[in-house]
Amino acid sequence: MSKYVIYTDSACDIEPELLEKWGVPFVSLTYRFDGDDHEYSNSEVPTAQFYARMRAGGVAKTAAVNVETFKDAFEPILKEGNDLLYLGFSSGLSNTCNAGQLAANELAEAYPDRKVLVVDTLAASAGFGLLVYMAVQKRDAGVPIEEVAEYINEQRFHLCHWFTVDDLVYLKRGGRISPAVALVGTVLGIKPVLHVDNEGHLVNVTKARNRKASLKEIVNRYAELAVDPKSGPVFISHGDCIDDAKRLTEMLQAQYGVNVELITYVGPVIGAHSGPGTLALFFLGKEK
């Protein structure tokens, strides 16, 4: 079996230090603030500082990784005689994975003796990160690259994303809700509860009257959908609201005895679209 490298991108919201520990290199999506000429990589600025700037009124815009960047990242791995499996950010939310696929197609022609596989995870943030984690476990267990790709292709349709946001203005900017709905929801303190569907798109599922109710709704969805509510893996990501992340962790522990394996930030590239106060739960379910 040829040695292979699992590659990903920064929309998985796994800290670079942890990805390095897992042996997973990545390319970074970028963002810039309106009125600022500098383009930042996802981990260039401390995430808490990024959210502080958003809370102060900063508007961040994001950019996908282009084909040439992927080729430059992938090619040295192939030159070293390794195969490569790229797990990419949902094509339903970004063109990043498509660019990775185009780069892989070109490199597969240039290196016919190497395998260059791409999986569109149809996932985002630490849900995407959870699939990367699962792929790493398979790799470390000696599973061949093709079987890992097939496994992630199957599991992506069982990877549940359930999340809520604190400020509707960011969903309005992204066209997820209308300005009228955002205005009424803000006045009434409505907190939407959303998930990611089988095409990798954000879907607004229900509305909660306040933050506490939105957390309870997320826990209810976990109870309804989890393959086994008493076991993991379970990841949580948050948009600079660690107290709520801890509260959600305590609710899951108290009701189901499940341990949350990772709590991480919603990184700037995802957070630019969801805003401060986003809270998301990721787990394997009977269906997505």
Model confidence at 274: pLDDT above 70: yes
CATH (one of 3.40.50.10440, 3.90.1150.10, 3.40.190.10, 3.40.30.10) for 4-29+64-155: 3.40.50.10440
The predicted structure's pLDDT at residue 174: 59
Provide the token pair at 138.
Answer: 């398979």
Confidence class of residue 67 from pLDDT cuts 50, 70 and 90?
very high
In whole angstroms, what is the distance from residue 197 CA to residue 194 CA?
Answer: 10
Continuous segment of H or E residues that includes residue 170: helix 169-173
Model confidence at 203: pLDDT above 60: yes
In whole angstroms, what is the distance from residue 234 CA to residue 236 CA?
Answer: 7
Confidence class of residue 185 from pLDDT cuts 50, 70 and 90?
low
Model confidence at 100: pLDDT above 70: yes
Could you give the angle at the alpha carbon of 17 between the alpha carbons of 93 and 29, nearest 5°?
Answer: 25
Q: Does residue 230 sit in helix, strand or coil? A: coil
Residue partners of 176: CB distance under 8 A and separation at least 6: 202, 204
Same fold, 4-29+64-155 and 159-284: no
- Mean pLDDT value of segment 94-110: 97
Confidence class of residue 170 from pLDDT cuts 50, 70 and 90?
confident
**Which one-letter amino acid corresponds to residue 151?**
Y
Model confidence at 283: pLDDT above 80: yes
Q: Where are the domains of the chain?
A: 4-29+64-155, 159-284
pTM: 0.94
Continuous segment of H or E residues that includes residue 244: helix 242-256
Model confidence at 284: pLDDT above 60: yes
In whole angstroms, what is the distance from residue 145 CA to residue 138 CA?
Answer: 9
The predicted structure's pLDDT at residue 204: 72
Average pLDDT across the chain, whole number: 92
The predicted structure's pLDDT at residue 194: 82
109 burial level (CB within 10 Å; 0-12, 13-18, 19+): exposed
The predicted structure's pLDDT at residue 168: 72
At the top level of CATH, the class of 159-284 is alpha beta
Position with higher pLDDT, 63 vs 191? 63
* Residue carrying structure tokens 């961040």: 60
| Best CA proximity match to 118, nearest among 67, 159, 80, 79 | 67
Confidence class of residue 136 from pLDDT cuts 50, 70 and 90?
very high
The predicted structure's pLDDT at residue 247: 97
Backbone conformation region of residue 83, classed left if phi is above 0, alpha if psi is from -120 to 50, else beta: beta
